[in-house]
């Protein structure tokens, strides 16, 4: 069992509650919007957790669209599967390692609050881009320290936030926040290298960043 599986297996119920608090829904909606989905499209979510993005995705792909959720933690998928009403109908959930996703030819891929977990985030992003048909979009949503001067006190709290929320303590440096941000940066750099028509936006006072692009 990986660090992520034991961490999220233990915290699935609490995570499910946190994942759906009001306010977070608008970040999820903007992420789904960045994918430029059409009705009938196939969208794959890497590290889908308890399915909190599904309503925003279903709204865009419609009843004929296909949503595939890939996650390595059985307890998170169990919660997602228990919520057909919230997730608006049938979703194909697959328990698998998202760094080797068992999918090809999708119209879009998203990974929200996931890239910072991977030891080799650039390789994971490569695999995600390879899942998407040419012209499809990939979106990464992540927490980060804010660049805003007003956010300085909260940036101090970011270290504690990462220590509590990042599975495992293999972020082998004194600053977990820095290690976490290095991973997110590596993921974003690889997405930048693999895509055109990129869009970057921040939310929550700069503490959440969304990068999306079109795979060539
Ligand atoms: C912070 S949660 C994010 C869940 C969801 N994307 C959301 O926005 O609510 C991270 C998720 O990534 C999953 N995860 C971690 N490592 C993974 C891997 N190698 N392959 C697939 N899923 C993974 C965890 O099980 C967990 O459900």
72 lines ligand 1 (CB under 6 A): yes
Distance (Å) from CA 133 to ligand 1 centroid? 23
Sole residue written with tokens 């390789």:
123
41 lines ligand 1 (CB under 6 A): no
Distance (Å) from CA 15 to ligand 1 centroid? 11
Asked whether the predicted pLDDT for residue 153 surpasses 80, the reply is no
110 lines ligand 1 (CB under 6 A): no
Distance (Å) from CA 141 to ligand 1 centroid? 12
Q: What is the pTM of this model?
A: 0.92
Q: Lowest-confidence range among 163-172, 176-185, 206-215? A: 163-172
Locate the domains of the chain by residue range: 3-215
Q: What is the pLDDT of residues 20-61, one digit of tens each?
A: 888 899 999 999 999 999 999 999 999 999 999 999 999 999
Alpha-carbon distance of 114 to 143, in angstroms, equals 10
Class of CATH domain 3-215 = alpha beta
97 lines ligand 1 (CB under 6 A): yes
The more confidently predicted of residues 206 and 174 is: 206
3-state secondary structure 140-163: EEEECCCCCHHHHHHHHHHHHHHH
Q: Per-residue confidence at 152, pLDDT binned at 50, 70, 90?
A: confident
**CA angle at residue 30 from 25 to 35, to 5 degrees?**
125
27 lines ligand 1 (CB under 6 A): no
* Contact indicator for 196, 216 with CB cutoff of 8 Å: yes
* Contact indicator for 79, 87 with CB cutoff of 8 Å: no
Return the residue whose CA atom lies nearest to atom 19 of ligand 1.
97
56 lines ligand 1 (CB under 6 A): no
107 lines ligand 1 (CB under 6 A): no
Output the DSSP codes for 35-94.
TT--TT-EEEEET-TTSTTHHHHHHHHTTTSEEEEEES-HHHHHHHHT-TTTTTS--EEE
* 113 closest CA partner among 135, 92, 91, 143: 143
């Amino acid at each position: 069992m990986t660090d992520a599986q034991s961490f999220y297996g233990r915290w699935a119920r609490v995570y499910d509650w946190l994942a759906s608090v009001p306010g977070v829904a608008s970040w999820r909606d903007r992420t789904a919007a960045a994918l430029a989905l059409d009705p009938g499209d196939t969208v794959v979510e890497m590290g889908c957790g308890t399915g909190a993005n599904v309503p925003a995705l279903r709204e865009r792909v419609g009843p004929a669209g296909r949503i595939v959720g890939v996650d390595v933690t059985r307890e998170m998928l169990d919660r997602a599967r228990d919520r057909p009403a919230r997730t608006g109908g049938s979703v194909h959930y697959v328990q698998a390692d998202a760094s080797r996703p068992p999918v090809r030819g999708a119209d879009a891929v998203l990974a929200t609050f996931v890239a910072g977990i991977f030891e080799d985030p650039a390789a994971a992003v490569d695999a995600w881009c390879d899942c998407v048909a040419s012209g499809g979009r990939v979106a990464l949503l992540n927490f980060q320290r804010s660049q805003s001067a007003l956010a300085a006190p909260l940036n101090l709290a970011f270290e504690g936030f990462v220590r509590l929320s990042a599975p495992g303590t293999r972020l082998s440096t004194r600053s977990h926040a820095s290690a976490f941000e290095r991973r997110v940066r590596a993921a974003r750099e690889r997405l930048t290298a693999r895509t055109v028509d990129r869009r970057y936006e921040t939310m929550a006072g700069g503490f959440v960043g969304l990068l999306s692009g079109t795979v060539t």
